């Protein structure tokens, strides 16, 4: 099982009130990994990333998606390893260029999966 699939399973377990659809789409390059739907009737997308360092790798298509769709898009990163001070971090998709430039040193909108859950559940409220 890949690292992003493991992250998806952790996220799904922490977000029981969110309906998740994994997107496996070769027809739309750069499409985020997940389509989420919360109890407020709000759709959003989430790109999952796992890293052993501070840098995150994105394809040009993933960057283009978040630049052209800056609202209701998020990136959740899991930092692995003993030096990971904030293991789970969430960023607005609109900040993808800053995230590419600065990696996990960029200030996240949420730290931890519980905080990510609260944020995503509150969208559209």
For residue range 56-111, list pLDDT tens digits in order: 999 999 999 999 999 999 999 999 876 556 789 999 999 999 999 999 999 999 99
Please, what is the angle between helix 3-14 and helix 113-122, to 10°?
60
The pLDDT value given to residue 1 = 66
- Whether this model's pTM surpasses 0.85: yes
The pLDDT value given to residue 54 = 87
SS3 of the chain: helix, strand, coil, percent, to 5: 35, 25, 40
Q: Which is it for strands 73-79 and 88-92: parallel, antiparallel or unpaired?
A: antiparallel
The pLDDT value given to residue 82 = 64
The pLDDT value given to residue 23 = 87
- Rg of the chain over all Cα atoms, to the nearest angstrom: 13
The pLDDT value given to residue 10 = 94
């Amino acid at each position: 099982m890949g690292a992003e699939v493991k992250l998806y399973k952790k996220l799904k377990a922490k977000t029981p009130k969110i309906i998740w659809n994994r997107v496996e789409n070769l027809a739309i390059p750069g499409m985020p990994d997940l389509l989420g739907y919360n109890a407020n009737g709000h759709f959003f997308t989430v790109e999952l990333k796992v890293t052993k360092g501070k840098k995150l790798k994105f394809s040009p298509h993933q960057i283009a998606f978040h630049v052209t769709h800056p609202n209701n898009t998020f990136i959740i990163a899991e930092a692995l390893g003993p030096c990971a001070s904030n293991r789970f971090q969430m960023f607005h998709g609109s900040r993808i260029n800053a995230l590419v430039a600065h990696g996990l040193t960029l200030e996240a909108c949420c730290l931890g999966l519980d905080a990510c859950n609260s944020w995503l559940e509150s969208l559209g409220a």
